[in-house]
Structure formats: C-alpha cells, structure tokens
C-alpha cells in the first residue's frame, strides 16, 4: 500500500512513523512533511517515509495522487478537512481517512457543534452565543455563572482559542485584547460557557458513520507553564492512557456521547467517518463534553500511537471504506509520555515574536535509546536543521507505568538541543 499523508507537524510525524511500521505499507509520502522526519534514524520504518516539501494544493491533489501511485490517503491537520480535500479525493475513487467538509463543522464551528450537543441531548456546559465582542461584553454583565466563564473562539484557532476566566474582570480584559487585535477564529463569533471544574480527558474513536471503535485515551497539558499556569497553547505534553476513566465506564461514554453524536450527524445528512476526538471534563455535575475535534490531536497522537499494536494502516483503510477490519488493533498495557519543546515567545497569542532560526543538534548516543523524537516547527538551512515555529519538537518514551515513563522522558529531554528551548517540567505529575 502506498499512502499519502497530508500535513507537516509533529502529529503527522507520529502518524507517518506508525503507518510505516505496518508490513502492508510500501511507502508513506508526506505532503509537505518536514525535514525533521528524516533527521534522526530512530526506527527502521523511517526509511519508508518520504517528504515532498511542497504544500499540497486542492486543485492539484489529483496530480500528486496519480504521480505517486497512491492507493490510500490519510489527512492529518484540520485545515485540509475544512477546505474539502477529503471530498475531492473521494471523487477520485481513492479511499481517504478523514471526514467530509460538511461533517467537519464539529470542529470548525464551536457554535454549531455546541448546538448539536444540545439537540442530541449530549451533556455539556451551559452556554451563550455572542456574534461580536460587544455582544460578549453585554452577556458577561449578566453574571450568569458564579464559577467563572470560558471564552471560546468559534472558528479554528490552532488550539489557542480557549480562555479560562475565573471572574468577569479577567474575561473583560481578554475581550478587550481580542477587540484590539481580533484573533483568527473570531470571525463567526464566540461562545461563553460556564466554567466547570474537574479532570479533563481526551478520548479517541474511529468512526465509519454508524459504528465506533475506541482507540485510546490521553491527558493533554494545555498551559504553557508548570502547575497549569500561563496562556493556553496547542499542547505542551501528554501521556496515555489517561487512567481517569475506568475501562468499565467506557461503554457508558460511548452510549452517552459517541453514538448520539453519530446518530445526530447521520440525521443531518453529514455522516461522520474518521477519528472523533472527544474532550470530556469529569465535573461535579458528571461527565460533560467540552468539545469535539475531527482529527487526531496534537500532541496527543504522539503518545497515543506508540501504544497501538497490530495492523494500524489496514484498520484506518477499512474504516475509510466503511468495512470491518480483518486484523484488529489493540492497545499496549504500557504507558507513554510525550514532552514538547517550544521556541521562545510561543504561543504568541497577542503579537509576541516567536523565535526561530536556532540550530538543532542531537546528542549521540541517546540516553534513552528507545525514545522517539517527533518534529514540527523545523526547516533546513544550509543542510542544517533549525527551528521555524512555536512547537519545535517533542520526545515520546514508553514505561511500565506513568512514573517510569515520566522518569525516562525527562532523562531523554536534552538529547535534542536548541537555544532558548522551553518545556514543562511537570508533564505526568499527579495532582
């Protein structure tokens, strides 16, 4: 099988690395990919990965598929889903793993997805819709929720569109900053949600429009700084399994959240096929749905995929075709932990400059030989690898339990170096 993987970040590096391990896979062509995907030969599967270095255009994707003799396409980032790449590829008769553009509203519009939750009877936080920043200020003055408010940009915001505000004063300050510098994702408006307290859990399900298969759980650390301080980011680290939802409760999650979502999507004429990322909070009011994502998470994928054993590529291919996989996958009992290293200035929410151009070097030998590095914000400069984005790279390590994985990850963290790198020191710390 020759696979085309769309995307170029750390999630796509993890996907390419895992897909390439399957015996049925001849080559994984990553478009555009990034030069970090071939920086360190950490696994024999890396020889199957080839990056085009060119951003795939919607109107020429068919030429790329034909020239590379592609038999299956996997879409990584949400932007390709929102722009309709899966629809165009399906028309070519090529199986594609990723929902249609119409079904992708579950992530592309937080307002519409929240309304779907309400209509489908899915437990979620109380909310109000504001179409403008001024509307949001008016709603804030009602002081509807004593616990605080969460402001969410309705549109895509690269994982940086959520602002947790414990009181009205902080919410008004955030809105004033948004109004002065309107961020991406605010075009449709924003949600105001009741602030809930509890543990957050990320669950992943493969879906074929009607059925679902649990793919695993992960715990993400969104805040930039230790002890969950600082601004929200796209994610600074993650571990899998999450461990806070017992196995006996997973059937209840599926019946209460996943299957009602699939039924409502089919009812609306937008059946969902792909991976559904369910963000839950285990609050004092019970489990509540915070959000959906319609693709593998970043950086959750970097801790999730190393636990998946079996024919991963064949399973995705079967779900893309609405078929039952012939060789089921299963989850390792090990724990994996992933720590992100970011550039100075990240996440740059309000105009901060994100540092780039810092040379990346590798220690040899690695202190943890089984550790796997996944790259994202990097580029080639004079045959050297340098930083070029906010989240530059991250390391994933397996352990017999969370404490073991954490110890090994932080032992490995300095094997890849660049100046002014930042990483959290508390990924996986029990609280």
Summarize pLDDT for 331-388 with one digit per residue, the tens: 999 999 999 999 999 999 777 899 999 999 999 888 998 999 999 999 999 989 999 9
Mean per-residue pLDDT of the chain: 93
> What is the model's pLDDT at position 365?
87
Summarize pLDDT for 37-52 with one digit per residue, the tens: 988 655 556 689 999 9
Residues 269 and 364 in one domain: no
Q: How many domains does the chain have?
A: 4
> What is the model's pLDDT at position 206?
95
> What is the model's pLDDT at position 44?
58
**Sign, Cα dihedral of 266, 267, 270, 272:** negative
Task: Give me the percent of the chain exceeding a pLDDT of 90.
Answer: 85
Q: Quick check: 280 and 256 in contact, CB under 8 A? A: no
Average pLDDT (184-211) is 93
Of 296, 331, 366, the one marking the end of a domain is: 331
Residues 209 and 325 in one domain: yes
> What is the model's pLDDT at position 93?
96
Q: Which of 88-92, 163-167, 347-351 has the lowest mean pLDDT?
A: 347-351
Summarize pLDDT for 118-151 with one digit per residue, the tens: 999 999 999 999 999 999 999 999 999 999 999 9
Residue 7 domain-assigned (yes or no)? yes
Residue 116 domain-assigned (yes or no)? no
Task: Give me the percent of the chain exceeding a pLDDT of 70.
Answer: 98
pTM: 0.92
> What is the model's pLDDT at position 133?
94
Say which residues have a Cβ less than 8 Å from residue 8's Cβ, sequence separation at least 6: 30, 31, 32, 33, 34, 51, 376
**Highest mean pLDDT of the ranges 93-107, 169-183, 311-325, 346-360:** 93-107
Of 194, 212, 232, the one marking the end of a domain is: 194
pLDDT at residue 54 is higher than 80: yes
Residue 424 domain-assigned (yes or no)? no
Q: What are phi and psi of 9, to 5 degrees?
A: -100, -165
> What is the model's pLDDT at position 40?
64
Residue 105 domain-assigned (yes or no)? no
Average pLDDT (175-191) is 92
> What is the model's pLDDT at position 41?
52
Residue 294 domain-assigned (yes or no)? yes
Of 277, 298, 331, the one marking the end of a domain is: 331
Average pLDDT (151-162) is 86
> What is the model's pLDDT at position 135?
95
Summarize pLDDT for 254-291 with one digit per residue, the tens: 999 999 999 999 999 999 999 999 999 999 999 999 99
Residue 391, domain extent: 335-417
Residues 283 and 229 in one domain: yes
Residue 109 domain-assigned (yes or no)? no
Residues 289 and 222 in one domain: yes
Residues 81 and 131 in one domain: no
> What is the model's pLDDT at position 243?
84
> What is the model's pLDDT at position 43?
55
pLDDT at residue 1 is higher than 80: yes
């Amino acid at each position: 099988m020759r696979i085309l993987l769309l995307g170029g970040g750390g999630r796509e590096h993890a996907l390419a690395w895992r897909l390439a391990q399957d015996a049925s896979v001849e080559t994984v062509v990553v478009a555009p990919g990034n030069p970090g995907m071939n920086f360190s030969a950490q696994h024999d599967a890396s020889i199957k990965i080839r990056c085009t270095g060119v951003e795939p255009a919607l109107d020429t994707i068919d030429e790329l598929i034909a020239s590379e003799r592609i038999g299956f396409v996997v879409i990584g980032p949400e932007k390709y889903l929102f722009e309709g790449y899966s629809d165009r590829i399906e028309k070519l008769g090529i199986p594609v793993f990723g929902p249609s553009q119409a079904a992708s509203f579950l992530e592309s519009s937080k307002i519409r997805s929240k309304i779907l939750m309400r209509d489908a009877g899915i437990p979620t936080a109380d909310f109000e819709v504001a179409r403008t920043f001024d509307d949001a200020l008016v709603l804030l003055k009602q002081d509807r929720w004593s616990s605080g408010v969460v402001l969410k940009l309705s549109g895509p915001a690269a994982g940086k569109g959520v602002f947790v505000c414990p009181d009205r004063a902080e919410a008004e300050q955030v809105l004033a900053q948004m109004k002065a510098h309107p961020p991406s994702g605010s075009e449709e408006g924003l949600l105001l949600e009741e602030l809930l307290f509890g543990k957050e859990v990320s669950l992943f399900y493969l879906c074929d429009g009607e059925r679902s298969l649990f793919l695993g759980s992960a715990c993400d650390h969104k805040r930039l700084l230790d002890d969950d301080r600082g601004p929200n980011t796209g994610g600074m680290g993650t571990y899998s399994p999450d461990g806070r939802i017992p196995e006996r409760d997973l059937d209840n999650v599926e019946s209460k959240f996943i299957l009602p979502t699939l039924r409502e999507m089919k009812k609306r004429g937008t059946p969902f096929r792909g991976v559904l990322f369910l963000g839950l909070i285990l609050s004092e009011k019970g489990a509540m749905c915070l959000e959906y994502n319609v693709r593998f998470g970043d950086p959750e994928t970097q801790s999730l995929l190393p636990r998946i054993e079996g024919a991963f590529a064949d399973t995705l291919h079967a779900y893309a075709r609405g078929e039952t996989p012939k060789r089921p996958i299963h989850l390792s009992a090990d724990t994996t932990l992933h720590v992100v290293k970011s550039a100075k200035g990240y996440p740059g929410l309000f105009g901060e400059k994100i540092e780039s151009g810092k040379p990346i070097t590798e220690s040899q030998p690695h202190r943890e030989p089984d550790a796997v590095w996944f790259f994202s914000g990097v580029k080639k400069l004079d045959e050297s690898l340098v930083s070029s984005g906010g989240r530059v790279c991250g390391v994933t390590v397996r352990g017999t339990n969370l404490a073991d994985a954490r110890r090994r990850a932080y032992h490995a963290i300095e094997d890849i170096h660049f100046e002014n790198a930042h990483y959290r020191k508390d990924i996986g710390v029990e609280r």
